[in-house]
Chains A and B, each alone.
Chain A
């Protein structure tokens, strides 16, 4: 085994590291190269998703019957085609549009509704807090996926039938909206709890008391004094939340409850091939890789925000 002296040196080193991990309150830190790579990746994916209709890519539903299940670098199809002959690259980009719309939309619902409820519960305390907190706890008593599955399947009963009756862009928008609302409801209690915990901590501070002593109204104290301080915590959780929802969308697709074919989302691209993984691996590998890198970037940035603003883990 290793020498005891080395062990001691290690723990001293570890001690130094622990000291570094708790940064002095006013030290400005850079965010590092990796963060910029992560931001760059997210920027790229987001702009592709937004610009999808204007990009010189093929129609994601156009079926090139001459070249179904073509591999990478087929002429005209950089990332190949799926079994219907649709271009994988353009489906991946349009898929990003659906997946990101769901992720960002759901987290926005969570941040706005959950954030407000959490702020209100933490600020008012007493009965308001008790009632709202128990409401959050009930929603948290379901595993996220189960709650999301149940809500989507109940709010959109046509889910299972897919195909034939799913024609029309109207259906796509409706389903997108349903998924956003369902997943948004799932994310509300999580964001509310974190906001509440942070609000409780900040409400005890002297400047809040000072504001009150000067006769500031509740609403002013809540939004002007408490909210700005709680925002970093909400932001770091929201970044993680977007990552979680991107993954969750894939899980919903596995259950057949995300965006229905022929429309594309990252999740349903993976699910469409799940029973024949070797037929056209590019169809599910491309969105899988996109999901992993996007989630990785978001997780990393969430971590950076958290350590930058020293968001307490215990508050989570």
Chain B
């Protein structure tokens, strides 16, 4: 319990430091940040932006103000021009973040659904043709970037519609139309999952191979248990620890993948918001979106770490 408390404390510190980094982002802009954000604005607007960014205060004060706004959920608005009220940043985060999280969840589910049976099977057939073939194919799949997989799929299934036609643009809410929801997400999810499946499958395989050497597996076999039961019930759990570690290490790849497919498939997620903010020079908004992504990333890693402790009794109190 004490270790968990310490991890939570660490988490809080990391979140604070990370958000501090993002909040001083604007001060990294070369020259006057206001000129970069709104190059042709009036003196009054410049003063307003200066006020909004709290550029007259020092870095620590600025962070304090930003943190207060961030926690209370009032992050101001995007700059849209003189006397025009831009979109609310907080609202945009509320709208987009669930999309990104759902996308990542689907990727993770698909990955596990394919990678776990694959890992078990290749471990069981270690050294055979199926194992070598899947290893070689896996090596190839890992080397395909998300955007290459995505563009090739769009060409095949949206532009040319070989066999099936899949929509390549936009987000449809699950509650609006479940069928459309999933058909819009098939390609984005598969594009990210391809590489992940290969990584997970390979690592599970190597751990499974080691587990299958253990005495208790021999014991189970000598009691006459079926292979399926041995593999799924006795060997999977001790072998799945690596899977959790990889899941933790892979969160970054997952987040990056999600951001990229959001831009390519125009899914209204936080990645698309970042893309939009960069291309419209919305640096006030950008720093909030980046902070949100970083916090999600840190939290997911934290979750993985806790899960690891739950699954492995040996390190629970270490």
CB within 8 Å of B: which residues of A?
Answer: 1-2, 4, 7-8, 10-11, 13-18, 137-138, 141-146, 149-150, 153-155, 157, 159-160, 243, 247, 250-251, 254-257, 270, 274, 277-278, 281, 284, 288, 291-293, 295-296, 299-300
| Shortest distance from the beta carbon of A244 to any chain B beta carbon, whole Å | 10
Chain B residues with Cβ under 8 A from A14's Cβ? 123, 126-127, 209, 212-213
Q: Which of B21, B128, B263 contacts A138 (CB 8 A)?
A: B21
Chain B residues with Cβ under 8 A from A11's Cβ? 212-213, 217
Q: B1-27: contact bitstring with A at CB < 8 Å (1 yes, 0 no)? A: 000000000000010011001100100
Chain B residues with Cβ under 8 A from A1's Cβ? 226-228
- Indicate if the CB atoms of B139 and A296 lie closer than 8 Å: yes
Chain A residues with Cβ under 8 A from B278's Cβ? 149, 153, 159-160, 255-257
B183 on the A face (CB < 8 A)? no
Q: List 9 A-B contacts (CB under 8 A).
A: A13-B126, A13-B127, A14-B213, A141-B297, A251-B146, A254-B147, A292-B145, A293-B143, A296-B139
- Indicate if the CB atoms of B148 and A150 lie closer than 8 Å: no
Q: Which of B30, B159, B274 contacts A155 (CB 8 A)?
A: B30
- Indicate if the CB atoms of B255 and A145 lie closer than 8 Å: yes
Chain A residues with Cβ under 8 A from B224's Cβ? 4
Chain B residues with Cβ under 8 A from A2's Cβ? 227
- Indicate if the CB atoms of A277 and B159 lie closer than 8 Å: yes
| Shortest distance from the beta carbon of A188 to any chain B beta carbon, whole Å | 14
Interface size band for B: 35 or more
- Indicate if the CB atoms of A141 and B298 lie closer than 8 Å: yes
Chain B residues with Cβ under 8 A from A255's Cβ? 263, 274-275, 278
B279 on the A face (CB < 8 A)? yes
Chain A residues with Cβ under 8 A from B297's Cβ? 141-143, 146
Chain A residues with Cβ under 8 A from B17's Cβ? 138, 141
| Shortest distance from the beta carbon of A4 to any chain B beta carbon, whole Å | 6
Chain A residues with Cβ under 8 A from B142's Cβ? 299
- Indicate if the CB atoms of A7 and B227 lie closer than 8 Å: yes
Identify whether the interface residues of A are mostly helix, strand, loop, or mixed. Answer: helix
Residues of B181-216 at the interface with A, using a CB-CB cut-off of 8 Å, are: 209-210, 212-213
Residue from A250, A254, A256, A270 whose CB has the most chain B CB atoms within 10 Å? A254
Chain A residues with Cβ under 8 A from B123's Cβ? 14
| Shortest distance from the beta carbon of A102 to any chain B beta carbon, whole Å | 15
- Indicate if the CB atoms of B221 and A296 lie closer than 8 Å: no
| Shortest distance from the beta carbon of B270 to any chain A beta carbon, whole Å | 10
B70 on the A face (CB < 8 A)? no
B29 on the A face (CB < 8 A)? yes
| Shortest distance from the beta carbon of A12 to any chain B beta carbon, whole Å | 9
Question: Given contacts A14-B213, A143-B293, is CB(A250)–CB(B147) below 8 Å?
Answer: yes
Chain A residues with Cβ under 8 A from B275's Cβ? 255-256
Chain A residues with Cβ under 8 A from B128's Cβ? 10
Question: Given contacts A277-B151, A296-B139, is CB(A7)–CB(B264) below 8 Å?
Answer: no
| Shortest distance from the beta carbon of A252 to any chain B beta carbon, whole Å | 10
- Indicate if the CB atoms of A150 and B25 lie closer than 8 Å: yes
CB within 8 Å of A: which residues of B?
Answer: 14, 17-18, 21-22, 25, 28-30, 36, 123-128, 139-140, 142-148, 151-152, 154-155, 159-160, 209-210, 212-213, 217, 221, 224, 226-228, 251-252, 255-256, 259-260, 263-264, 274-275, 278-281, 283, 286, 290, 293-294, 297-298
Q: Which of B124, B125, B139 contacts A300 (CB 8 A)?
A: B139
| Shortest distance from the beta carbon of A5 to any chain B beta carbon, whole Å | 10
Q: CB-nearest residue of chain B relative to A137?
A: B14
- Indicate if the CB atoms of A146 and B29 lie closer than 8 Å: no
- Indicate if the CB atoms of B126 and A8 lie closer than 8 Å: no
- Indicate if the CB atoms of B274 and A149 lie closer than 8 Å: yes
| Shortest distance from the beta carbon of B134 to any chain A beta carbon, whole Å | 15
Question: Given contacts A159-B278, A292-B148, is CB(A277)–CB(B154) below 8 Å?
Answer: yes
Q: What 7 A-B pairs have minimum CB-CB distances, sorted nearest first?
A: A145-B256, A14-B126, A296-B143, A143-B255, A295-B143, A143-B252, A288-B148
| Shortest distance from the beta carbon of B61 to any chain A beta carbon, whole Å | 21
In the bound assembly, the distance between CA atoms of A253 and B35 in angstroms comes to: 25
Chain A residues with Cβ under 8 A from B152's Cβ? 288
Chain A residues with Cβ under 8 A from B298's Cβ? 141
In the bound assembly, the distance between CA atoms of A154 and B37 in angstroms comes to: 11
| Shortest distance from the beta carbon of A158 to any chain B beta carbon, whole Å | 9
Chain B residues with Cβ under 8 A from A8's Cβ? 221
Q: CB-nearest residue of chain B relative to A303?
A: B139
Chain B residues with Cβ under 8 A from A145's Cβ? 252, 255-256, 259-260
In the bound assembly, the distance between CA atoms of A16 and B212 in angstroms comes to: 12
Q: Which of B25, B147, B256 contacts A143 (CB 8 A)?
A: B256
Question: Given contacts A145-B256, A251-B260, A299-B139, is CB(A281)–CB(B280) below 8 Å?
Answer: no
In the bound assembly, the distance between CA atoms of A225 and B22 in angstroms comes to: 40
In the bound assembly, the distance between CA atoms of A269 and B144 in angstroms comes to: 16
| Shortest distance from the beta carbon of B24 to any chain A beta carbon, whole Å | 10
- Indicate if the CB atoms of A144 and B252 lie closer than 8 Å: yes
In the bound assembly, the distance between CA atoms of A11 and B251 in angstroms comes to: 33
Q: Which of B160, B263, B280 contacts A278 (CB 8 A)?
A: B160
- Indicate if the CB atoms of A146 and B151 lie closer than 8 Å: no
- Indicate if the CB atoms of B25 and A270 lie closer than 8 Å: no
